[in-house]
Each structure stands twice: as C-alpha cells, then as structure tokens.
Structure 1
Amino acid sequence: MGKPPDLFELRLDRFVRMIDQLEKKVSRLRPPLVITARHPLEGGANRLSQLQRHNLLARFLPRARYVDIELRSAPGFRSLLQLARKKNVRRIISVHHLKSTPSPGRLRAQAGAAKTHGADIFKVATRTDTPVQLARLIDFAAAKDLDVPVSAMGIGKLGAASRVLLACSGSALVYVSLGRGDVEGQISLQQLRTLGIPSPR
C-alpha cells in the first residue's frame, strides 16, 4: 500500500459478528478512524436497528477522529452527536441518494439541515449515471455560499469521473478503496495518487 491514507473509514455495520475481535485490532491501525454504522436504507449491512447502530458507534467513539451519521438518523442520535462534540470527535452528517441526484436546491437544504445538527462536514453521495446528474452534483458542491464544508461523490457509471473532478474541486474528504472498490465508480487509493490528486487539507 505504501504511504497509508490520511483516514480509515470503519463500517461497523459490516462487522457485527466479529465486533470483539475488531475492537482488539483497531488499535493497530495507524491513521485516525472515521466510524459509521450505516442505516439500512442508505446501504447499511445486516439491517441493524437504531439502537444497535447507536451502541456500536458509542462503543468505538473513544477511538474515532470522525463519526458519520446519516441526516435521517441525526434526530435519534442527538445525544451521541453531543458526546462526540465533547470528545472532540468531528461530526460528519451524510446523505446517500442511491437512485438519483436531487436538485442543487434540495441538496443545499439538506446541507443546511446537517449544519443544524452540528455537522462539521456534510457528506453527500448521489447516483451519477448521466452527465445531467453529474452536473447537478458538481453545481451543488461548487457553490461558494454553503456554510458547511462538503464531501461529495458520485456512484454509478460516471462515479469515477465525479470523484476525480470533485477531489480536484476541493471536496472536504475524498473516499477511495484500498483495493477493489465495492461501490460502482469508486476509485482506489493507488489510482488517486497516480493521478496526482493531493489529500484535502
């Protein structure tokens, strides 16, 4: 792998059957962690309940630099978001539009809602199978008057192009895989570095 990434995202929803072993191994990871336990309607594994996801996040919060909670889940995770703030864990509030790319206006409204829930970063992933969808996502991410940093990426046929373009445009976080991606359009860490795209600062 060479130089490690700046952060590792830990999808806790995928490790529920080996969570004790995972907890023992996490300390060996050098880069800081982004923890998430994804909602089933936004791509989460194992159909976890809100309580199950809350407990996973609370358990790993002391080891995290960032915690990622979906906008739809934020009201029910208010106490966890407040605890994250007290622990100096940065809060990512996210939305995952797996079938479409909403209008820039709707995405702007979601970014504003994320900010009201205490987001340090608003993360948005949308379906980008067509140039029109890609243009919508870029138009939103390029807006200069958003009051929260944005991490934006596409999924689908133009997903790879979206990730390169948005990384070059200043996306707050750039998500890549260490090997073969499990999301259509995801690029690898090696590909990102081959393209000479610097890490966000």
Structure 2
Amino acid sequence: MTARRSAVHRPRVVGVIASRADLRRALGLRKPPDFFELRLDHLAGIVDQLENMLPRLRAPLIITARYPQEGGANNLSLRRRRDLLTRFLPCADYLDVELHSASALRSLLRLARQKKVRRIISFHNFKSTPTPRVLMAKARAAKACGANIFKVATRTDTPIELARLLYFTAKKDIDLPVSAMGIGKLGAISRVLLARAGSALVYASVGGGTDIEGQLSLEQLCSLLSRR
C-alpha cells in the first residue's frame, strides 16, 4: 500500500516545516513522519535553499501557501502564493488550498489533478468551532472543488467546541476523508482524540516551538498516539 493511498485509510502523522530551523531538523530525523508539510508562506524567503534540500527529505510532501486571513505568514498576495505552489507542485504528493481560495486557484487545482497530485481543501476558523451542520456544508463544498481530503482546523477552547469537532469527524455524512484538529486550550488533546475518531492526517511541529496554540511536537504526538 502506498503512502498516498494509506493516508486516507488511517491516521498519518504530518511534520510541519515552517522555518529554516525546522528544515534542518527534518533533514536530521532518524525516523521521519509519514509526510512533511512545507509551509511555503513561511519559507518564501529561502525557496532556493529549500528546493536544493528537498531530495534529502525522507517522506512525501504536502505543500501549502496559506491565505493570510487563515494563518498565512508574510501577507503573501494570491499571485505570489500561486507562483510558490506551482514551483513546488512537481515535488508534491498533496496540494493544500483553502476552500476560500479554491475558486481563485481553480487552474492550479486542475493542474494538480492532471499531474496526479492529490488535493487537500482546508477550512480554518481561529475564533470558534462552527456546528457540525456548518462543517458538513464546508466538507461538501470542498468535495465539489475536487478534494481528496477535507482539512478543518477550528478553535477548541471549550468542551462544547471540541465535542462539535469530534462529532463531525466521527459522524460525517460524506464519502470524503477528513483531517480535523483543534486550536487553543484543548488543541493538544484534540489531536489525539480526533486521530482516534477517524482523522486522516494528524499534524505536529517538526521543531520544538510553534506559534499555534495546541500544536504538539512530533515527539509528543507520536508518544501520545502510541498509548492505548
């Protein structure tokens, strides 16, 4: 079974590379995660160095250049984000585009499909977790855009918010894998609970530090997932 196919059948760990330090650490990992995610919005200043080092990364790649209002760094324009994603598309197993940007990046999504690069369509809400009904509508919209996986990251500061995300992940009424994660006070435990509830991909920081509240390091996440 290939890494690409298995990513949608059971939780796979994704190590997020968002800095030069993360890249160096990723290159030195003895046991790499199932995937590396390249946060090209964070890495926009070192793309030449990044491109030269990609052959040394020992895991398939997810590429994204995040929309500024959904957590993207460096306030990149749509054109700059498109250029970065197009440049690194030949290296990618997955392309991650926000649902908000899917229409504007329709040609890129079409190219990815032609190149047999799978598509993650994502939705981020850093203020709250919408109801499962709203999340279901987002998932259907993502599928209509050609998603192979729907990724959702929402604020989980309260048990009610976490329960909404868990219910949506476990009970989703759509034939589309979901990768779900919480951000905030209950973000860390959400990564483990959602993985066990059926989340297709589970994200963690390659480096020790992260500015995302609730995101665990690779070491922490792998340790927690191994516990029964």
Q: CA RMSD in A?
A: 1.3
Aligned pairs for 1:1-20 (under 5 A) are 1-20=29-48
User: Given residue 116 of structure 1, which amino acid in structure 2 is its aligned partner?
Assistant: A
Corresponding residue for residue 190 of structure 1: 219
Q: Distance in 2 between matches of 1:156 and 1:19?
A: 30
8 Å contact from structure 2 (residues 95, 118) kept in 1: yes
User: Given residue 216 of structure 2, which amino acid in structure 1 is its aligned partner?
Assistant: I
Corresponding residue for residue 111 of structure 2: 83
Q: Distance in 2 between matches of 1:104 and 1:132?
A: 11
Q: Distance in 1 between matches of 2:135 and 2:172?
A: 14
Q: Does 1:153 align with 2:181?
A: yes
Corresponding residue for residue 145 of structure 2: 117
User: Given residue 80 of structure 2, which amino acid in structure 1 is its aligned partner?
Assistant: Q
TM-score normalised over the length of structure 1: 0.95
Structure 2 residues without counterparts, runs of 5 or longer: 1-28
Aligned residues: 198
Structure 1 residues without counterparts, runs of 5 or longer: none
Q: 1:144 to 1:71 in 2, by over 3 A?
A: closer
Please list the CA deviations of residues 86-144 of structure 1 after superposition, one character each: whole Å capped at 9, or x if unmatched: 11111000011011101111100000000000000000000000001101111111114
Q: Distance in 2 between matches of 1:152 and 1:193?
A: 17
* Structure with larger RCO (C-alpha < 8 A, sep 6+): 2
Corresponding residue for residue 129 of structure 2: 101
Q: Does 1:128 align with 2:156?
A: yes
Regions of 4+ moved over 3 Å: none
Please list the CA deviations of residues 10-46 of structure 1 after superposition, one character each: whole Å capped at 9, or x if unmatched: 0001122221121111121110110000000000011
Q: Distance in 1 between matches of 2:68 and 2:132?
A: 25
Q: Distance in 1 between matches of 2:102 and 2:82?
A: 11
8 Å contact from structure 1 (residues 168, 197) kept in 2: no
Percent of matched pairs sharing the same residue:
65
